[in-house]
Amino acid sequence: MSEKLLNWDEVLIGGAIKDPGNSKSYETGSWRVERPVWNPESCIQCMFCWVYCPDSSILVDENGKMSGIDYDHCKGCGICVEQCPTKPKSLAMLLEADAKGKSEEDLRKEVFSK
Amino acid sequence: MGKKVALTGNEAAAHAIRQINPDVVAAFPITPSTPIPQNVAQFIADGEMDTELVTVESEHSAMSACVGAAAAGGRVMTATSANGYALMWEILYIASGSRLPIVMAVAARALSAPLNIHGDHSDIMGGRDTGWIQLIAENSQETYDNLIQAIKIAENKDVMTPALGAFDGFNISHAIEIWELEDDNKVKEFVGEYTPLYPLLNTKEPVTHGAWAPPDWYFEHKMNQLEGLLNAKDVVVKVGKEFGSAFGREYGLYEAYKMDDAEYVIVAMGSVCGTTKDVVDSLRENGVKAGLLKIRLFRPFPYKELADALSSAKAVAVLDRVSPAGAQGGALFTEIRSALYDANSRPPVINYTYGLGGRDTQPQHINSVYDKLKTIAETGKVDKQFDCLNLRGTWG
C-alpha cells in the first residue's frame, strides 16, 4: 500500500474522493491466492485476456502488444486463462505460495515446459 | 408578516417544502404522510414551486433518488412513514455516511404486523441509529418550523448530515390546527442558498462519491461522520435562536414546561406533550409541583443538558410511544436513565409505553402517571419500573 493512512479528522467528508483514479494506489494484488503466468512464446497476441481482465491488469506495450501482467493489481481471478484461445494455453494459474521467491522467467519455465 | 392558517400537519410540512423549494423531491406515497408529496405535486402543477418531483416505485428508490440528487449537488427533501421509512433503511445509512444533508418529513406511524396505519414512534425510534438528526414536533406549528430549521441545521458546514422532522401520524398529520404560515420570501431568506461541498455535477473538479472503504479506512470515516452528527447539537441551538429572531418562535434542544421547581416530571416527545401540558397546568393549580420535559432533539441526544434539566426532579416517568422490544425500557427511557446515571440527584425513573398503533392517551392516563410519581417520591419505592398506559389487562 503506497497511500498515506489518514486519521479520522483528516479524511474527506462523506468518504468523497477528490483525486479520481486513486484506486491505482491500492494494490489489490495482495489478495491473490493464485497468479496467472504468461508464456510469450505461444501467445498469438489476440488480446482476449486484455479485453476480459476485470482489473485492467494485462500490460500492453507501446506497440499495443500484450507484454505481461500487472501483479500489483491482478487479483488472480483466472478469467484471462479461461479466455486464452491457444492450444495449449499461453496463460496458466499457479499457486502464489509456489511462486514465492522465484523470478518470472523461472516460473515460465516451470509452468510451460511440462 | 405571517398569517394564521387552519391546516393539517401534513399541509404544514408541504408548505414548508413549498417555501424551501428544494431542487428535488423524490417520494412514494404511504399513509399517513401521503398528503405531503400530493400537496407538493399540486404546488408544482400550480406553478407555486419549481422543484423536480421524482415519482418513484418504492421508498427504497425514493431515498436512493434523494442520495443521487444530493450527491449531484441539489437541495433535496422527501417524506415518508412507517413501513416506507423501514424500506428506506439501507439508504438512510448511505445518506448519512455520504454526508448528504437531505431533509425528510416523517409522519410517525406504527409498523406492521398486525397491520396498523396509525400513529406511534416505532419507525423513527427503530431508525434512531441511522446517523440522521432527529427533530420531533409536538404540533403542526413545530412540524412546519422544524422542517425549515432542519434545512439550515443539516446544511451547516460543520454538520452536513441528513435530518428528519418527525410528527405524530394522524394526531398531527391529519388534525387541523391553527398555526402561523410565514411569508414565502422571509422563509427563503432564512434558509438561504445551498452550496454543496463536492457536487458530482461540477465537472471542473471531478469527485467520487460512494467509494469503497476497506477495514483500514472505514472506521476513520464513521468517526468523522459521528463528529458531524454531534456538531448538530450546537447548531440546533444556534438555528433555533435565529429562527426566534426571524419569526418570533425560539427553539432549543428541549422544552422545559414548568420545570423550574418541578418534582414530578414526565419526559416525553410528540403530540402527547400537548395533553401532558394541560395536566401539568391543572396539577399546578392544585399546588402539585408537576413538570414536563419535552424532547425536541432526539439525535444527537443531548444527554448532559437533559440530565441538568431534571436536576430538581424527585421522580421521573419517561413515556415511550414504542415497545421496549426486549430492552430494559423504551428507547427514550434507556437514554434518559443512562443520562441520569451521572447526575448527583439520580432520581428514580420509571417507564410507560403508551399510544401504540394510535391508541388514545387522555388526561386521565397522564394524571395516573403523576399520581404514581407522587407515590414513588413519598415512599422512595418503585414497585414497577415498566408499565403500560391505557392497555387492557394488567402488565407485569
pLDDT tens for residues A2-44? 468 999 999 999 999 998 788 888 899 999 999 999 999 999 9
Residue A9 is assigned to a structural domain of this protein: no
Structural domain boundaries enclosing A44: 28-112
b/e burial code for range A52-73 (CB count within 10 A of at least 16 → b) = ebeeebbeeeeeeebeebebeb
Give yes or no for residue B52 having a pLDDT over 80: yes
Q: Compare CB distances from A6 to B99, B205, B220 and report the shortest one's residue.
A: B220
> Are B220 and A20 inside 8 Å of each other by CB?
no
Residue A69 is assigned to a structural domain of this protein: yes
pLDDT tens for residues B177-204? 999 999 999 999 999 999 999 999 999 9
Interface test with A, best of B93, B156, B161, B208 (most A CBs within 10 A): B208
**B69 min Cα distance to partner chain A (Å):** 15
Nearest Cα to B169, choosing from B31, B11, B356? B31
pLDDT for residue B209: 94
**Phi, psi dihedral angles at B38 (to 5 degrees):** -65, -45
pLDDT for residue A114: 67
**B211 min Cα distance to partner chain A (Å):** 7
Residue A14 is assigned to a structural domain of this protein: no
pLDDT tens for residues B53-73? 999 999 999 999 999 999 999
Give yes or no for residue B147 having a pLDDT over 80: yes
How many domains, chain A? Answer: 1
Task: For residues B186 and B346, give the distance between their C-alpha atoms in angstroms, rounded to a whole number.
Answer: 45
CATH number of the domain where residue A72 is located: 3.30.70.20
Residue A78 is assigned to a structural domain of this protein: yes
Q: Compare CB distances from A18 to B207, B216, B227 and report the shortest one's residue.
A: B207
With beta carbons under 8 A apart, name residues in chain B contacting A9.
224, 227
Domains observed in chain B: 3-247 (3.40.50.970), 254-388 (3.40.50.920)
Chain-wide mean pLDDT for chain B? Answer: 97
Asked if A8 has any chain B CB less than 8 Å from its own CB, the reply is yes
With beta carbons under 8 A apart, name residues in chain A contacting B206.
20
Residue B210 Rama label (left phi>0; alpha psi -120 to 50; beta):
left
Check: CB of residue B320 under 8 Å from CB of residue B352.
yes
> Are A18 and B100 inside 8 Å of each other by CB?
no
Residue A20 is assigned to a structural domain of this protein: no
Task: For residues B193 and B74, give the distance between their C-alpha atoms in angstroms, rounded to a whole number.
Answer: 11
Residue A101 is assigned to a structural domain of this protein: yes
Task: For residues B227 and B124, give the distance between their C-alpha atoms in angstroms, rounded to a whole number.
Answer: 21
Task: For residues A61 and A58, give the distance between their C-alpha atoms in angstroms, rounded to a whole number.
Answer: 10
Nearest Cα to B104, choosing from B122, B79, B139, B126? B79
Task: For residues B268 and B318, give the distance between their C-alpha atoms in angstroms, rounded to a whole number.
Answer: 6
Nearest Cα to A46, choosing from A54, A35, A34, A58? A58
Residue A16 is assigned to a structural domain of this protein: no
Nearest CA in chain A to B207: A18
Which residues 90-109 on chain B approach chain A with CB closer than 8 angstroms? 97-100
Check: CB of residue B52 under 8 Å from CB of residue B24.
yes
Residue A6 is assigned to a structural domain of this protein: no
Q: What is the pLDDT confidence band of residue A72, given thresholds at 50, 70 and 90?
A: very high
